[in-house]
Amino acid sequence: MDDMGTTLRQFRLLLAVLLFCVAGSLVAQAAGPVETSIFAVQGVDVDVTDTDAATAKNKALVEVQVKAFRQLAERLGSPEVVAAVEAMETKDILPYLRSLSIEQESISPGRYQGKLTVRFLPEKIKSFYSSHGVRVASGQGPAFLVLPMWKSANGPQLWEDNPWRQAWINLRAEQSQVPVIVPLGDLDDSEIISAQDVLSGDEVKLEAIRRRYDVKSVLVAFAEPTEDGGIRATMNGNTPLGKITFDKTYRAESGDTRESAELATKRFHQVMIDKFRSDSAKQASAEGGDSGSRRQTLSVAVPFAGPSEWNRMRSRILSTPGVVGLDVSSLGGDGAVVKLTVMGDMDKIEGRFRTSGLQLFRAGSSWVIQPL
């Protein structure tokens, strides 16, 4: 059994390396469309030492998957999902991988250091999270570009290193439900637009930076330090979610300016996420019309192999949009009959179950739910 386990681990490692070779050719940081998939994790750091550089790199390619998988659980999951991921073995995580690509790397004798983007298979992630009662919506708001303007004692700063720009970079919101992109700040960016251009509202140059990153809109975010270690953040402009007017002062408990800046960016981003979710809910309600408010109760058979599978099925069913109630009529060792209360017409309900990894269908005169 130990030999079989070793062989399996070696096979998975080779598979990971193969996927890396196919999808992970060296990617220099360049402007253009930024990847915004919520199932990707960018900027994952690894630093591995071993007998030689090649072995260290191979180990790093596995380690980065595990690290990214846990980061994704913290971002999209729940405490239960995070706990489940922490308990998983490496061999159980690797099959969720879609691809890897290198952002930066440094190779020296016996050591590999890198920063990578890790992409996971959406349907497998959604199914795994759903088994723990978390429904992951793959829908996202349109991405927009933020230009962080810092009002320092030495004048306005756009591309220089400062607490405000660093806070937006640290936000790492490119793959969030509302993707926020921060420009690289390279030579091309600085030639396209300067701090003075932003202050004067130069529409031609703002359009040029928008086109470079292929986004819908650009939002200028101003901030200045306060005497007590806080920052005052002001943002006014149009985003894909509507006009934004934001003027607030934030101060971290530590009184550290950098921490205050990070607090402000996180709060602002949460406001954008809440707005997106609210708009999405209103749109779904409007599209549903009268049929979206229709309540139906169905008698449904749910076959399963054992108690653990029943618990997973039950969690998936309850997390499916439109399901408002589940009462168990009978429960046996290999299946249950439940009274399922749903909102909306059946075509839409069946589609929603498919997004949860389940199939709701008629078998004769009865309804049945089973995994896809």
Q: Along the chain (372 residues), what's the average pLDDT of each consecutive run of 10 residues?
A: 48 44 39 66 90 92 94 83 91 90 90 91 87 74 89 92 94 83 92 94 92 87 94 84 84 93 91 75 56 71 83 76 78 83 80 81 83 80
Number of domains in the chain: 3
Whether residue 282 sits in one domain with residue 148: yes
DSSP, collapsed to helix, strand or coil, labels residue 117 as strand
The verdict on residue 136 lying in a domain is no
Q: Provide the pLDDT for residue 26.
A: 36
DSSP for residue 33: S
Q: Provide the pLDDT for residue 193.
A: 95
The verdict on residue 139 lying in a domain is no
Whether residue 298 sits in one domain with residue 281: no
Beta strand segments in the chain, E:
40-49, 97-108, 111-120, 144-152, 155-157, 180-181, 218-225, 231-239, 242-250, 295-303, 323-331, 335-343, 358-363, 366-371
* Number of DSSP helices (H) and strands (E) in the chain, helices first: 12, 14
Boundary-marking domain end, from 252, 286, 320 = 286
Whether residue 152 sits in one domain with residue 272: yes
Residue at 256: amino acid letter? D
Whether residue 361 sits in one domain with residue 256: no
Boundary-marking domain end, from 264, 286, 308 = 286
User: Whole domain around residue 58: which residue ranges?
Assistant: 2-130
Burial call 29-45: b when 16+ CB within 10 Å, e when fewer: eebeebebbbbbbbbbe
- Phi, psi angle pair for 297, to nearest 5°: -120, 125
- Helical pair 53-76 and 122-130, crossing angle rounded to 10 deg: 50
Whether residue 179 sits in one domain with residue 225: yes
Whether residue 11 sits in one domain with residue 111: yes
The verdict on residue 221 lying in a domain is yes
Which residues does 217 contact at the CB level (< 8 Å), separation at least 6? 144, 145, 210, 237, 238, 239, 240
- Phi, psi angle pair for 99, to nearest 5°: -165, 165
Q: Provide the pLDDT for residue 332.
A: 78
Which residues does 45 contact at the CB level (< 8 Å), separation at least 6? 113, 114, 115
- Cα of 92 vs its chain's centroid, Å: 21
CATH number at residue 231: 3.40.50
Whether residue 259 sits in one domain with residue 157: yes
Whether residue 271 sits in one domain with residue 154: yes
Boundary-marking domain end, from 286, 315, 336 = 286
Whether residue 114 sits in one domain with residue 9: yes
Whether residue 268 sits in one domain with residue 163: yes
- Look up tokens 């653990």; give the residue: 308
